[in-house]
């Protein structure tokens, strides 16, 4: 069996920036174990598979090198870009992706891709995770927002503190949940409103370049803090990436661009 595949850089207009995801359209999903093998072989943060259900309606699944995940923003953006590029969809009406996180509506505004995702909100962390956070940060200033879905989030006191953070992956891997977010308000002279970084060593992702799903909880928090519904976000990984995010109450709109890096074929 042969699968056409593309690697798409998401949340950027330029290759070698943003977050790369592998994308493939299949008539029928391979066995779960085979999809996991493909994701491990490609070894990007996410490999995404879709199979068609109806015109402009697909089932979408995401795999890290180690596991399937319930939600991934950058690979959803990459998949929408990929399907548009291979002319597998109409772009004058929304695309629906049926996923483990429900139906996600994707629309197109010129070169922009707009994703309608469920908002997520913070609950208190476990005492064990709080103790690990205290060990991670020592005497440095931080504020734990809590745990949202599978992500623990900490606010630091400056953009520079987020940029300069040296992640102790062994301790981060001991935290509850799937991923760990650090965030801060942006410096006043920068065009973005807030910044973040994301780590998920338990899932085989030491640091994710740009994490759309993290902004499902970051957006409601910063919208309330800054008193504005639409914000510009920047993820401060080595590759960096930019998002426009909008707080819609129980939903979050994530807006970004993408660029194709590679087109190829998998032989199974």
Residue numbers annotated as active site: 46
What is the DSSP secondary structure assignment for residue 10, as one 8-state letter?
E
With CA atoms as reference, report the closest residue to 245 among 210, 262, 220, 208: 220
- Cα angle 213, 221, 102 (rounded to 5 degrees) comes to 35
- Work out the burial of residue 55: count CB atoms within 10 Å of its CB; fewer than 13 is exposed, 13-18 middle, 19 or more buried: exposed
Q: How far apart are CA 268 and CA 260, in angstroms?
A: 23
* Residues 102 and 250 sit within 8 Å (Cβ to Cβ): no
With CA atoms as reference, report the closest residue to 81 among 55, 53, 52, 48: 48
Q: Please name every residue paired with 181 in a beta bridge, in sequence order, or none if there are none.
A: 153, 198
Can you tell me which residue has the tokens 């995770």? 129
Token digits of residue 60: 């979408």
What is the DSSP secondary structure assignment for residue 123, as one 8-state letter?
B
Q: Find the distance separating the first CA and the last CA of the chain, reported in whole Å.
A: 5
């Amino acid at each position: 069996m042969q699968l056409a595949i593309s690697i798409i850089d998401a949340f950027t207009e330029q290759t070698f920036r943003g977050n790369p995801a592998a994308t493939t359209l299949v008539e029928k999903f391979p066995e779960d174990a085979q999809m996991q093998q493909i994701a491990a072989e490609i070894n990007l943060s996410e490999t995404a598979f879709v199979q068609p259900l109806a015109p402009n309606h697909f089932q979408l699944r995401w795999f890290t090198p180690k596991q399937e995940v319930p939600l991934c923003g950058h690979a959803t953006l990459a998949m929408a870009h990929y399907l548009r590029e291979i002319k597998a969809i109409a772009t004058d009406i929304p695309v629906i992706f049926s996923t483990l996180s429900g139906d996600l509506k994707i629309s197109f505004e010129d070169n922009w891709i707009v994703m309608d995702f469920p908002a997520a909100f913070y609950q208190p962390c476990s005492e064990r995770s709080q103790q690990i956070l205290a060990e991670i940060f020592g005497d440095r200033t931080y504020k734990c927002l809590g745990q949202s879905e599978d992500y623990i989030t900490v606010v630091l006191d400056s953009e520079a503190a987020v940029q300069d953070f040296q992640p102790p992956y062994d301790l981060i891997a001991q935290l509850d949940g799937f991923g760990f977010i650090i965030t801060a308000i942006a410096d006043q002279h920068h065009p973005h409103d807030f910044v973040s970084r994301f780590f998920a060593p338990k899932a085989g992702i030491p640091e994710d370049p740009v994490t759309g799903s993290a902004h499902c909880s970051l957006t409601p928090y910063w919208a309330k803090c800054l008193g504005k519904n639409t914000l510009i976000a920047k993820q401060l990984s080595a590759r960096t990436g930019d998002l426009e995010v909008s707080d819609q109450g129980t939903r979050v709109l994530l807006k970004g661009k993408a660029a194709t890096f590679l087109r190829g074929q998998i032989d199974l």
